[in-house]
Every structure is written in structure tokens, then in C-alpha cells.
Amino acid sequence: MKLILFNTCGAEASVALADTEQTVAVVAVSTMPGRTASESLVAEVRKTMAEARWRLSELDGIVVVTGPGSFTGVRVGLSVAKGLGEAIGAPLIAVSRLAMLAAAAGPEYRRVCALLDAGRGEFYCRQYGDGEDFEPREALISKQEALDMAVASETVVVCEQVAFEALNGIVPVEMVDEPGAADALPFAMKRIAAGSFDDPLKLDASYLRRTDAEIFAKQAGK
């Protein structure tokens, strides 16, 4: 299968192409600053496809990281993935950024807490254990709540300096590279093998927090 993968949730956005028939599945990766994704993502897709000599009609599936992360970044990646899927009739697969982060800790840990900076002194968090979730939800939590989750885990895995500094020295913290689009491939392959795809009409971003516009609109309506 030929797949295109998007991750526009973090400080660095990326696009990857993968061919599961090849020995080395990932055939191309392109990165850009996350804050520029709204203007450059479509152009980057065209460039990456052209350099790999792929046509959009050849794509068998579209993989998109749906957050949590930057509101604008998450929206841009999901919008492009949905639009492309509709245009060429390719199925969609959504992947959690926190799941990708937890996987970066490696298989040696049975209980992992994945943590991302959410700003305002808060964090996006999800716990994973023994190959299954033992906290089966992604949550927006305070630093104290993050500590409470962390002490129940063997390690905390982060990819941002803010999250590292918040917990380092208190609980074991593993700093890893920011997961890119290509890191979503193992998750996508499991979904493909199970024949599990996402309905584009129901697929939504994992924001966990309301935007400022939503908050202010609610306040104004009181």
C-alpha cells in the first residue's frame, strides 16, 4: 500500500510517504516549522509527491495525527487529510500524538505516561501499560495531576523542554525527539491489518481544550 502521512500538531510539521511493499517502507519525509503549516502544507505535499514521482491517484490511504497539540496545526493537518481523502477516495486513519510519544519510550517499560505541554501550566496526558491503556483517555491536566499520573508509571516520556523541566528530578523523565509523520506508520499498519478505518464525517481533532474564541464567545453569551 502507498500511504501519505501528516503530522502538523507540534513545533515541527511533517509529511511522509510510505510504501508497505518496500523493504524500507518510508520513502520520503519532508519537514517544515509547525507555525507555517497553514500556508505551506499543500505546497509541501505537492513537492514531496513530485520528488518521489508519485501521483495522488496512486495513494491507497491517508494517515493523519489528530492531536493533541497546536489548534491551528491540528486543524490544518486534518483538513488537508480529509480534503485529499474525499478527492481521491482514499480511506483515512487517525493516530494519536500521545500514543506515538508513548511508543518512543521503547518496549522495556510496562507502564508509560506520555506528556505534552498544553501551555498555561497545564499538560496533555495519557497513560499506557502492559500494551494496553490503564488510563483509557487523553486528558488536559494540571502539573499536580501530571505528577500523580507519573508516580503510577515506570517512566514519563516527553518531547518538549517545558514538560521535561516540570517533572525532571521529581519522577523519571525520558526526553525523546518530537514524533514525526513517519512515526505514525506502525499504528497505521495495525489499523490496516484489522481493516479499521475512520469515518471522515465523524473524524475530529483531539483538542482537549476549547479555543480562546470558544471561551470568549461563551463568556459573552452569559
pLDDT of 128 over the 80 cut:
yes
From 89-93, 104-108, 161-165, 192-196, the region with the lowest mean pLDDT: 104-108
Q: Give this prediction's pTM.
A: 0.89
**What average pLDDT does this structure show over 22-49?**
91
User: Cα separation of 53 and 55, whole Å?
Assistant: 7
CATH T-level topology, domain 2-96+179-220: Nucleotidyltransferase; domain 5 (3.30.420)
What is the model's pLDDT at position 206?
82
**CA-to-CA separations, 4 to 15, 16, 107, in angstroms, rounded:** 7, 6, 26
Look up residue 12 and give its three cell numbers. 515541527
Name the CATH code of domain 105-175 (choices 3.30.530.20, 3.50.50.60, 3.30.420.40, 3.30.450.40): 3.30.420.40
What are the structural domain ranges in the chain? 2-96+179-220, 105-175
**CA-to-CA separations, 75 to 46, 207, 222, in angstroms, rounded:** 19, 9, 28
Please check whether the two domains, 2-96+179-220 and 105-175, share a CATH topology: yes
Alpha helix (H) residue ranges in the chain: 37-52, 71-88, 97-103, 143-151, 161-167, 185-194, 212-220
Confidence of residue 213 (pLDDT cuts 50, 70, 90): very low
Look up residue 190 and give its three cell numbers. 495495525
Confidence of residue 77 (pLDDT cuts 50, 70, 90): very high
User: Cα separation of 144 and 132, whole Å?
Assistant: 24
Confidence of residue 109 (pLDDT cuts 50, 70, 90): confident
